[in-house]
Amino acid sequence: MTAYQNEKIYLDHAATTPLDEDIFKKMTPFFKGVFGNASSQHSFGREVANALTCARDDVARAIGVPSKEIYFTCGGTEADNLGIKGISLANAEKGKHIVVSAIEHPAVLESAYSLRQFGYEITEVNPDGDGVIRPESIEKALRPDTVLVAVMSANNETGVIQPIKEIYERVHAAGAYLWCDCVQSAGALPFSLFPADGWAISAHKFNGPKGVGVARIKSGVRFLPQMCGGHQERGLRGGTINTPSIVGCAEALCKAQKNCDEVNAYVSSLRNEFEKRVVALIDGVHINGKNAQRLPSHSDLSISGCEGQNIVMLLDMKGVAASTGAACSSGATTPSHVLTAMGLSAECVSGGVRFSFGKDNTPSEAQIAAQILSEVVSSIRSK
């Protein structure tokens, strides 16, 4: 039994992050003492409405847009639904053609597919072998009737950062809107890198609470509400305001953005050390997206002769938490649509494992994880 076997190592921050203690403290009063409904006319409601206004202003300032462009949602999935369906349906007179990158999260892909029932046509654009969606490929897919294009800021499996500025120029020149799912980059990279007509943000990816997020939709872009009900969020997203979570979301985003340079440098040093060791210890490792710009946290590996599912299972038995691509699809045996779209071999696709580092990981955890991975790979290969 080796010394490290009692320690658990969490390397799945792309799936979710732990709630920061400071953020939890800021949220706590809104569960009990400050419990009013933000829509109520009395002082209980006003107190909560004030907190909501502050949270909205904080988010807007943090991402550099006017407060009126912020709509709180129950997470990244709802933000993507609102953006993709809401904008496409409200602007149907422009056309019923949507372009999506083939490596989008299911929240985007399934939202787009759901519009087929209303006569929309979907074109999927593949990335290059490094997982980059080329602006020229998007340009080729555009048509006079294209109403919306969706390309994410950075991919959730590979961490590859997309050339959104160049894509935005081309999409706007064609008179279409660009939706950019910023769920993986929010809190780590500035939003100015990703000019778009709308962004999706999810608080649990930057040490905020789960079940809350933001759809930022540019003023002047028409969209239809997808959550019908009361007049909350200026009538565009019904439902009693989830004050504790919204306060937590705003605090977490501000904190993450404030510390991002320092955190990015630290996290990328862990990731780089991990990859250096893995490549030295294990033969036949392919780092997916290695030649592209990547988020500092992500390391997506394909290891020859090994199924990703097996690696993740054996790592878990040894106390290391990693994932096969998107957390939402793990457990299912469907191959990664991201690695498939990148044109990787069937072996690389089935061998994909994602490690994602966070600010609370330590250098020794990165080293131990590489060592444990090499042991797991040896045991699989020896069977």
- Residue 297 CB, shortest distance to ligand PLP, in Å, is 12
Residue number with CB closer to ligand PLP (70 or 314):
70
Residue number with CB closer to ligand PLP (82 or 303):
82
Identify the residue among 131, 187, 213, 225 touching ligand PLP (CB under 6 A): 213
For position 76 contacting ligand PLP by CB under 6 A, the verdict is: yes
Q: How far is CA 250 from the centre of its chain?
A: 17
The span from the CA of 107 to the CA of 66, in Å, is 25
Identify the residue among 184, 232, 361, 374 touching ligand PLP (CB under 6 A): 184
For position 344 contacting ligand PLP by CB under 6 A, the verdict is: no
Residue type, 345: S
Query: Within 10 Å of residue 118's Cβ, how many Cβ atoms?
Result: 11
For position 107 contacting ligand PLP by CB under 6 A, the verdict is: yes
- Residue 371 CB, shortest distance to ligand PLP, in Å, is 28
The span from the CA of 374 to the CA of 204, in Å, is 30
Residue number with CB closer to ligand PLP (156 or 242):
156
Kindly determine how many residues on this chain lie close enough to bind ligand PLP according to the rule CB under 6 A. 13
Identify the residue among 62, 183, 282, 349 touching ligand PLP (CB under 6 A): 183
Residue number with CB closer to ligand PLP (36 or 198):
198
User: Roughly what angle, to the nearest 10 degrees, separates helices 243-258 and 260-281?
Assistant: 80
Query: Within 10 Å of residue 85's Cβ, how many Cβ atoms?
Result: 21
In the range 114-173, which residues lie near ligand PLP by CB under 6 A? 152, 156
- Residue 75 CB, shortest distance to ligand PLP, in Å, is 3
The span from the CA of 315 to the CA of 311, in Å, is 6
Q: Which residues pair with 176 in a beta bridge?
A: none
Catalytic residue of the set 180, 249, 328, 348: 328
Say which residues have a Cβ less than 8 Å from residue 367's Cβ, sequence separation at least 6: 273, 274, 277
Ramachandran region, residue 281 (left: φ > 0; alpha: ψ -120 to 50; beta: rest): alpha
Instruction: Considering only the stretches 69-77, 123-131, 229-237, 271-279, report the one whose residues sit in contact with ligand PLP under the rule CB under 6 A.
Output: 69-77
- Residue 277 CB, shortest distance to ligand PLP, in Å, is 26
328 assigned to active site: yes
Q: What do you get for the CA distance between the two ends of the chain, in Å?
A: 21
For position 251 contacting ligand PLP by CB under 6 A, the verdict is: no
Residue number with CB closer to ligand PLP (277 or 354):
354
User: Roughly what angle, to the nearest 10 degrees, separates helices 363-381 and 260-281?
Assistant: 30
- Residue 60 CB, shortest distance to ligand PLP, in Å, is 19
Residue number with CB closer to ligand PLP (14 or 285):
14
Identify the residue among 26, 96, 105, 354 touching ligand PLP (CB under 6 A): 105
Cβ-count burial 133-147 (b if 16+ within 10 Å, e if not): bbbebbbebbeeebb
For CA atoms 297, 26, 227, 235, the dihedral sign is negative
Which positions are annotated as active-site residues? Answer: 328
- Interacting residue ranges for ligand PLP, rule: CB under 6 A: 75-77, 80, 105, 107, 152, 156, 181, 183-184, 202, 213
